[in-house]
Amino acid sequence: MKSFFFTLTLLCGLATVTAQSVAITVEAPTDTTVISRHIYGHFAEHLGRNIYGGFYVGDTSEIPNREGIRLDVVEALKEIEIPNLRWPGGCFADTYHWKDGIGPVEDRPSILNVWWGNVKEDNSFGTHNFLNLCEMLDAEPYLSANVGSGTPQELTDWIKYTTHPAGSSPMPDLRAENGREEPWDVKYWGVGNEAWGCGGNMRPEYYADLYRRFATFMTGWQNDELYRIASGASGDDYKWTEVLMQNIPKNLIEAIALHHYAVIDWAAKGPAVDFTENQYFITMKEALKMDELIEEHVAIMDKYDPEKRVDLLVDEWGGWYEVEPGTNPGFLYQQNTMRDAMLAGATLNIFNNHADRVKMANIAQAINVLQAVILTDEEKMLLTPTYHVFRMYVPHHDATLIPLSFESPMYTFEGESLPAISASASRDDEGRMHFSLVNIDSKQSHEIELDVAALGITGVTGEILTAETLQEHNTFDNPDQVAPTDFDGTEMSDGKLRLTIPPFSLVVLQGTK
């Protein structure tokens, strides 16, 4: 008999208060909206220990590697089926000249990384290293081009160097001389980064014209279409989106980016671990704002593009706190707690529910920077709570969105309230159903009731990600402090699946017919 699988993703704590009930209505899909696997993308900027010591240790390192790439990192990222990886920035992208990172390593010029710590960048990790890494990960590369200090010629040369066959022009021939005969498959190209800020402090009108110039000369091999991504707005800068949608012809653009971080206060971001409930509440308030931002930007896009030909990409998102004490402030190294698991789960649900426009997202960043999924210390490596959320959401990759409707109870703190429960659902190609729910409430548990009678569910198994406090996290001395365990807290009766979600909790349930 055919099986149905249910993935209910919740985020978990032990101290509970009287539970409130939430009845969730599962609606039959009315269209074929697909949750793109690219929503679960990642970001690798030349920042702190993301590249060097994170992805790359060099081929002389005693840490197991292949051509300098850490194998433990590759194995961990393949487990969460990383779909794409964005590189080399970020702010770093608009000071990066790709030809500095090709050819014999000993001949490559060094530069100063003026954005992140004023440290020396020796360019030992370059285009070949990154694109070969993506092949190892079975992930699609997303290259951010230098628009702030670069030229259209530099970008078109990079496209030819990476994607055109040897013998077709000087750039592919140069690639072959550097050891790579066959081209790589590079579809995704960002035309600058944060043009309103570190990418040039441009006005939207100026950037729109500059984008048109760069995009005009971006061509693939044999008319293969590239996916060109405009540098989009920061947060609620709706004018930026309006100007770009008005002034960029639709034949020159495939997507607009959006950046939003859940920041308590840019002047006082607060600690990554020893935070208060007030700081937690503000973080979640900023995280949930993502839903409003997407709706407002999409409304503008719909006005100029009702056919939805232009996608929205949230290619930088996540939590941003003060760096860990004693670390370089320019390296943005922070710990990762159950707060970050809450932030990730709720945000990914938002992206899933906007899958008709949101086609890619990139959490910032992959290793040792901001809301990382992996932390390293020399030969040591650990997986963060955020990593476990990404693993539990894998069933949503390229699955069909299932609409859900419910009224969420509120998480209230000092007179302010936020929706405590968020949810998303999908059906994969084999007919398996997946539901992900998040309870951000710091104290209150909630009873969830899903009416699954029409699906004939008879058995349920699951696992739970839980912690005693929101501040709990993994360390190199105790890397499995926060890790999933078996969960048997569900009941089935009268065609309804019931469970209690503890405060700040994540549960993955699998139901069979």
450, 443 contact by CB (below 8 A): no
| Kind and range of the H or E run holding 412 | strand 410-413
209, 126 contact by CB (below 8 A): no
Biggest CA-to-CA distance, the chain? 71
Instruction: Give the CA distances from residue 295 to residues 82, 132, 240, 292, in Å, rounded to whole numbers and listed in that order.
Output: 26, 37, 15, 5
Start-to-end C-alpha separation, the chain: 7
* H helices, E strands: number in the chain: 9, 29
How many other CB atoms are there within 10 angstroms of residue 431's CB atom? 12
18, 341 contact by CB (below 8 A): no
Residue 463 catalytic?
A: no
Instruction: Give the CA distances from residue 438 to residues 21, 434, 490, 502, in Å, rounded to whole numbers and listed in that order.
Output: 14, 14, 16, 10
Residue 292 catalytic?
A: no
Joined together, the tokens standing for residue 196 give 């309103």
Type of residue numbered 295: E
Alpha-carbon gap, residue 162 to 182, rounded angstroms: 9
DSSP 84: E
Alpha-carbon gap, residue 188 to 185, rounded angstroms: 9
Sequence-ordered alpha helix ranges (H) in 123-227 = 127-137, 152-163, 170-177, 204-216
| Kind and range of the H or E run holding 347 | helix 338-353
DSSP 456: T
Catalytic residue, candidates 45, 254, 286, 316: 316
Sequence-ordered alpha helix ranges (H) in 29-82 = 71-79
Nearest to 287, CA basis, from 422, 192, 394: 422
Alpha-carbon gap, residue 228 to 224, rounded angstroms: 12
Type of residue numbered 419: P
Residue labelled with tokens 């009224």: 407
Catalytic residue, candidates 45, 140, 194, 254: 194
| Mode of pairing for the β-strands spanning 69-70 and 84-87 | unpaired
Angle CA(247)–CA(249)–CA(255) in degrees, nearest 5?
A: 95
Joined together, the tokens standing for residue 488 give 């048997």
Nearest to 202, CA basis, from 214, 192, 215: 192
| Kind and range of the H or E run holding 296 | helix 277-304
Catalytic residue positions, numbered: 194, 316
